[in-house]
Amino acid sequence: FFFFGIADNLRVILTPEINHSGHVFLFTSLASQVMSNVPATLLFAEFTSNWHALLWGANVGGFGSLFGSFANLIAYKIYVTHEGLNHSGGFTIRFALLGYAALFVAMGLYFVLYRMNALL
């Protein structure tokens, strides 16, 4: 119920903006950093028919934070299980640095390809 209430409110706010593919991509990839890429995709799929940008945003949104993808959280859990919490700080810092580097490179790639009209 809560999800649908948020979705309806966001629909009113974002409908004018969510039709541009760059906006769909950015909203999906950035929202993935907070709520993970699967819920972000389901949320923004309600607002757009621009599925190319939506899928790019979901895939790119899996990079970055531990929350970007549930797979990231599973990997963290496995790491902590085998290495212990004492080593988790180093893992988290390395993961964040590499994850955000990959996120920004992938975002740049999307916009380069978009400018070249390689994406629909």
**Quick check: is 89 in a domain?**
yes
In angstroms, rounded to a whole number, what is the distance separating the alpha carbons of residues 31 and 93? Answer: 21
**Quick check: is 41 in a domain?**
yes
In angstroms, rounded to a whole number, what is the distance separating the alpha carbons of residues 63 and 74? Answer: 14
Question: What is the residue range of 104's domain?
Answer: 2-115
Q: How many domains does the chain have?
A: 1
- Of the CA atoms within 13 Å of residue 75, those in its CB half-sphere come to 13
Residue by residue, pLDDT tens for the chain (120 residues) are 455 566 666 666 666 667 788 989 999 999 999 989 999 998 888 888 899 999 999 999 999 999 999 999 999 999 999 988 888 888 899 999 999 999 999 999 999 998 887 665
pLDDT score for 85: 81
**Quick check: is 120 in a domain?**
no
**Quick check: is 44 in a domain?**
yes
**Quick check: is 22 in a domain?**
yes
Nearest to 58 by CA among 103, 4, 114: 103
